[in-house]
Amino acid sequence: KNEVEQSPQNLTAQEGEFITINCSYSVGISALHWLQQHPGGGIVSLFMLSSGKKKHGRLIATINIQEKHSSLHITASHPRDSAVYICAAVQGGADGLTFGKGTHLIIQP
Amino acid sequence: DTAVSQTPKYLVTQMGNDKSIKCEQNLGHDTMYWYKQDSKKFLKIMFSYNNKELIINETVPNRFSPKSPDKAHLNLHINSLELGDSAVYFCASSQDALLNEQFFGPGTRLTVL
């Protein structure tokens, strides 16, 4: 079974700071999802990537398949970015999806 | 228009009861999922259906039975509810299997007393 580790577990930063959240996994995967869970509980998919890098607005996600590692970056962070960020590794087929435990991010004004 | 909807949003019930949570998606997606988020906020996949066929069935008790009457609906029926079933249950859908972006429902908070 895939072990998915996220770091840090908790992160508090000031508005405007560059944020990096890391995700590593133990077994080769087909793809990796990054999700955002708002304080109200709703979950939004941010990225699904299987190689390289993707960018959407101030969010950037990268993945290194050989090193079994992915990062989520937030540039010019804002208090509205405060949320829990969760990575999930896709093993494919019936093996399903393994989630990290999430990174709780707080951006202070 | 809500893309993925779940009902009810909150469900409070006694131990031993049987309950159902309904999920519907209007995105035309082929795949639907049920996830459980425990009290520590840890998410775990429970089931996945593709075109009404079960493709992922993680280790969940037999008391949980998903039912997909058509590809737009995936309901979750739970028999003989236990205290440990208290959690938030999320439904989601994607165009194909796990290699596509997923769209989540708002969640159903189940409390078993």
Q: For residue A102, count other CB atoms closer than 10 A to its CB.
A: 22
A chain contacts of residue B88, beta-carbon cutoff 8 Å: 41
- Is A53 a residue whose pLDDT tops 80? yes
**Angle at the Cα of B56 from the Cα atoms of B89 and A62, rounded to 5 degrees:** 80
**CB contact (8 A) between residue A102 and residue B42:** yes
- Is A28 a residue whose pLDDT tops 90? no
Instruction: Say if A43 is an interface residue toward chain B (CB within 8 Å).
Output: yes
Bridge partners, residue A98, by sequence: A89
Q: Can you point out the beta strands (E) in A10-68?
A: 10-14, 19-25, 31-37, 43-49, 52-56, 59-64
Q: How far apart are CA B41 and CA B39, in angstroms?
A: 5
Instruction: Say if A41 is an interface residue toward chain B (CB within 8 Å).
Output: yes
How far away is chain B from the Cα of A41, in angstroms, using its nearest Cα? Answer: 8
Q: Are B87 and B110 in contact (CB under 8 A)?
A: yes
**Is the alpha carbon torsion for B48, B107, B84, A32 positive or negative?**
positive
**CB contact (8 A) between residue B99 and residue A86:** no
Q: Are A4 and A66 in contact (CB under 8 A)?
A: no
**CB contact (8 A) between residue B58 and residue A96:** yes
Average pLDDT over every residue of A79-98: 87
Interval B89-101: pLDDT, tens: 999 999 977 778 8
At A93 the pLDDT is 62
The pLDDT confidence band at residue A1, using thresholds 50, 70 and 90, is confident
Q: How far apart are CA A71 and CA B17, in angstroms?
A: 43
Q: Which residue of A has its CA nearest to B5?
A: A42
